[in-house]
């Protein structure tokens, strides 16, 4: 679990040197982090209906990761893991952060944005933050205090929907109603920032969309694309009101969800087109992925109505540690490294971006803390893999929801993947499920009682990892 910092830094330097003829010394980075998109929600990942031409083109030009895992099955811990390279529980971000809860990513954590800014990058976050409980707070660190030169976006979710949101900030200033749809607002803001930035510096742009998180609305033209999948009149379900809009909670089919994903795709396409039109494609690493699995039609919150995300057949959904909650799409285009139209099934996780991007930028990883992410440049490059480098265990921890569907069932709070095996454990640290993901990727056959040696091995490894987290010198203790 622990990263060998010195060896890892040497490895990064070796790869940078080896491919220096195809890279600028400090390539740009565009990190696109979308909200609640499922493994099966793109045409390039097998969705039979959804039209996502821009992201499909990105996949055809780069690498699709098919065993890519989010750091968590919920947004806040996932983002904490992404930006720090550390398993979310190490940072104290254990679940989603409610408004005015006083929970936030601590200053002692070092973000990827801070590393890159210190190395001379211009940095911006446009879109969702959700690593504190109040974007107006003077006491909780804001994006511009955690490495981002520029911030325009929202916190937990768009209010009342992603049309004309009222909870968008620029820096620390609340802006009031922003006319338009968040996908278009954020794409336009990203392009504007790219146009006006200091072009003598490389850039790190994190574009963190609101889509396809509920509650949402779509332009008419996009709803029209999927009318055959919509029943009845489209009536938006707003959030942020004092009372639950009970009369609007009508299941209308997946058409609006499909439209929301397609509209998101089109707006991301505008930013990708900017790279091409401004001769920046060859100098830019593009990473596209999702913060966690989708809200499927298995709803247990009122505001989830009319989300119809697809896990691609994997078990579970957002907020659960089965594959459907944590395995998500990931597409990488890195000229000189990724090969067009390729696929990798090597298991990697969202904490790896911290280490990998820092290595690509030639930035030293902080040596005073445990970093769980690994440098996956060999995976991106399609090179022969050094098993000693990539052989490691993947770990997740997340309190399960109190969902009616799970009443009386064992509720896994921890998950561990080791080689082909995955174990889920409850809040008392007791194993409850064991799967061989190669033979049973859908997690249908619980082998806990049939493989005592594997169960014993994974349980022992879990204990080691949990002890490492609980004794982490930087971890907040409540």
DSSP summary character for residue 95: S
Token duo for residue 110: 């070092």
Q: In what order do the strands lie in the sheet with 122-127?
A: 173-174, 169-170, 150-153, 122-127, 203-208, 28-34, 284-290, 330-333, 63-65, 342-344
- Output phi, psi for 292, to 5 deg: -170, 180
Token duo for residue 281: 């494609």
Q: Are residues 371 and 427 part of one domain? A: no
Q: Are residues 299 and 417 part of one domain? A: no
pLDDT tens figures, 282-304: 999 999 999 999 999 999 999 99
Does residue 210 form part of some domain? yes
Segment among 41-45, 106-110, 193-197, 390-394 with least mean pLDDT: 390-394
- Output phi, psi for 170, to 5 deg: -120, 115
Q: How high is the pLDDT of residue 408?
A: 60
What CATH number is attached to the domain comprising 454?
A: 3.30.1120.10
Place of tokens 């550390």: 86
Final residue of a structural domain among 366, 394, 422: 394
Q: Are residues 220 and 286 part of one domain? A: yes
Please compute the mean of the pLDDT values over residues 461-470 and round it to a whole number.
Answer: 96
Does residue 282 form part of some domain? yes
Mean of pLDDT over the chain: 92
Question: Under 8 Å CB-to-CB from 142, ≥6 apart: which residues?
Answer: 129, 132, 135, 151, 171, 172
- Output phi, psi for 246, to 5 deg: -55, -40
Q: Are residues 296 and 175 part of one domain? A: yes
Please compute the mean of the pLDDT values over residues 117-139 and round it to a whole number.
Answer: 97
Output the CA angle 133-290-305, nearest 5 degrees: 75
Identify whether the C-beta of residue 87 lies closer than 8 Å to the C-beta of residue 117: no
Final residue of a structural domain among 335, 362, 394: 394
Q: Are residues 30 and 97 part of one domain? A: yes
Does residue 292 form part of some domain? yes
Better pLDDT: 411 or 18: 411
Place of tokens 């045409």: 43
Identify whether the C-beta of residue 306 lies closer than 8 Å to the C-beta of residue 231: no
Q: Are residues 431 and 321 part of one domain? A: no
pLDDT tens figures, 343-395: 999 999 999 999 999 999 999 999 999 999 999 999 999 875 555 556 789 99
Q: What is the pTM of this model?
A: 0.93
Identify whether the C-beta of residue 367 lies closer than 8 Å to the C-beta of residue 43: no
Positions of E strands within 38-162: 63-65, 68-69, 122-127, 150-153
Q: Are residues 250 and 383 part of one domain? A: yes
Q: Are residues 375 and 316 part of one domain? A: yes
**Whole-angstrom Cα distance, residue 25 to residue 447?**
49
DSSP summary character for residue 246: G
Q: Are residues 369 and 461 part of one domain? A: no
Q: Are residues 258 and 380 part of one domain? A: yes
pLDDT tens figures, 406-427: 666 668 999 999 999 999 999 9
Long-range CB contacts (< 8 A, 24+ apart) of 174-179? 174/135, 174/136
- Classify residue 470 by burial, with Cβ atoms within 10 Å: 0-12, 13-18, 19+: exposed
**Whole-angstrom Cα distance, residue 231 to residue 255?**
8
Q: Which helix (H) or strand (E) holds 388?
A: helix 387-390
Final residue of a structural domain among 336, 362, 394: 394
pLDDT tens figures, 258-267: 999 999 999 9
**Whole-angstrom Cα distance, residue 70 to residue 150?**
25
- Transcribe 228-244 into DSSP letters: GG--S-------S-SS-
**Whole-angstrom Cα distance, residue 294 to residue 36?**
5
Identify whether the C-beta of residue 66 lies closer than 8 Å to the C-beta of residue 343: yes
Q: Are residues 194 and 258 part of one domain? A: yes
Does residue 404 form part of some domain? no
Identify whether the C-beta of residue 365 lies closer than 8 Å to the C-beta of residue 288: no
Q: How high is the pLDDT of residue 17?
A: 37
Token duo for residue 79: 């983002």
Q: Are residues 256 and 374 part of one domain? A: yes
Does residue 212 form part of some domain? yes
pLDDT tens figures, 299-333: 999 999 999 999 999 999 999 999 999 999 999 99
Domain containing 61: what range?
Answer: 5-394
Instruction: Look at the chain and report how many structural domains it folds into.
Output: 2
C-alpha distance across the termini of the chain, in Å:
24
DSSP summary character for residue 446: -
Does residue 400 form part of some domain? no
Does residue 405 form part of some domain? no
- Transcribe 269-324 into DSSP letters: HHHHHHHHHTT-GGGEEEEEEESS----S---SGGGTT-----TT-S--TTS-SHH
β-bridge partners, 140? none
What CATH number is attached to the domain comprising 252?
A: 3.40.720.10
- Cα 394 to chain centroid distance, Å, stands at 16
- Output phi, psi for 247, to 5 deg: -70, -15
Place of tokens 């991301």: 268
Does residue 402 form part of some domain? no
Long-range CB contacts (< 8 A, 24+ apart) of 460-468? 461/393, 461/416, 461/418, 462/395, 462/414, 462/416, 462/423, 462/425, 462/429, 463/429, 464/1, 465/1, 465/393, 465/395, 465/416, 466/414, 466/429, 468/1, 468/2, 468/370
- Output phi, psi for 399, to 5 deg: -60, 130
pLDDT tens figures, 179-237: 999 999 999 999 999 999 999 999 999 999 999 999 999 999 999 999 999 999 999 99
Question: Under 8 Å CB-to-CB from 137, ≥6 apart: which residues?
Answer: none
């Amino acid at each position: 679990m622990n990263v060998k910092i010195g060896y890892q830094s040497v490895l990064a330097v070796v790869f940078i040197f080896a491919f220096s003829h195809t890279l600028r010394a400090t390539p740009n980075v565009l990190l696109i982090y979308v909200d609640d998109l499922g493994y099966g929600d793109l045409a390039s990942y097998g969705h039979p209906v959804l039209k996502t031409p821009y992201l499909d083109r990105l996949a055809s030009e780069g690498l699709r990761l098919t065993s890519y895992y989010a750091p968590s099955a919920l947004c806040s811990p996932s983002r904490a893991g992404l930006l720090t390279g550390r398993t979310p529980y190490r940072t104290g971000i254990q679940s989603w952060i409610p408004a005015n809860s006083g929970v936030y990513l601590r200053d002692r954590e070092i973000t990827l944005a801070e590393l890159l800014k210190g190395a001379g990058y211009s940095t911006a976050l446009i879109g969702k933050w959700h690593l504190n409980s109040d974007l107006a707070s003077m006491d909780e660190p804001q994006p511009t205090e955690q490495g981002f030169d520029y911030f325009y976006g929202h916190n937990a979710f768009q209010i009342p929907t992603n049309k004309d949101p009222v909870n968008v900030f620029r820096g620390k200033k609340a802006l009031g109603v922003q006319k338009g749809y968040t996908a278009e607002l954020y794409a336009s803001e990203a392009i504007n920032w790219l146009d006006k930035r200091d072009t003598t510096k490389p850039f790190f742009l994190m574009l963190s969309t609101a889509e396809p998180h509920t509650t949402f609305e779509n332009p008419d033209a996009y709803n029209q694309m999927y009318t055959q999948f919509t029943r009845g009149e489209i009536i938006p379900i707003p959030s942020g009101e004092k009372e639950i809009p009970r009369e609007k909670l009508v299941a209308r089919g997946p058409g609006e969800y499909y439209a929301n994903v397609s509209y998101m795709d089109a707006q991301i396409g505008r930013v990708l087109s900017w790279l091409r039109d401004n001769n920046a494609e060859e100098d830019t690493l593009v990473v596209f992925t999702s913060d966690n699995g989708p809200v499927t039609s298995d709803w247990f919150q009122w505001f989830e109505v009319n989300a119809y995300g697809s896990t691609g057949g994997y078990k579970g959904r957002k907020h659960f540690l089965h594959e459907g909650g944590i395995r998500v799409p990931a597409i990488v285009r890195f000229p000189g490294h990724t090969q067009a139209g390729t696929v990798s099934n090597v298991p990697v996780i969202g904490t790896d971006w911290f280490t990998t991007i820092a290595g690509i930028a030639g930035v030293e990883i902080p040596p005073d803390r445990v970093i769980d992410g690994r440098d996956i440049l060999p995976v991106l490059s399609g090179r022969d893999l050094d098993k000693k480098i990539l052989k490691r265990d993947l770990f997740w921890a997340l309190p399960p929801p109190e969902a009616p569907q799970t009443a009386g069932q064992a509720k896994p709070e921890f998950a561990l993947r080791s080689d082909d095996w995955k174990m889920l454990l409850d809040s008392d640290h007791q194993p409850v499920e064991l799967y061989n993901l190669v033979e049973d990727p859908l997690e249908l056959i619980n082998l806990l009682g049939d493989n005592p040696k594997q169960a014993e091995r994974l349980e022992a490894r879990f204990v080691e990892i949990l002890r490492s987290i609980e004794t982490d010198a930087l971890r907040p203790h409540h």
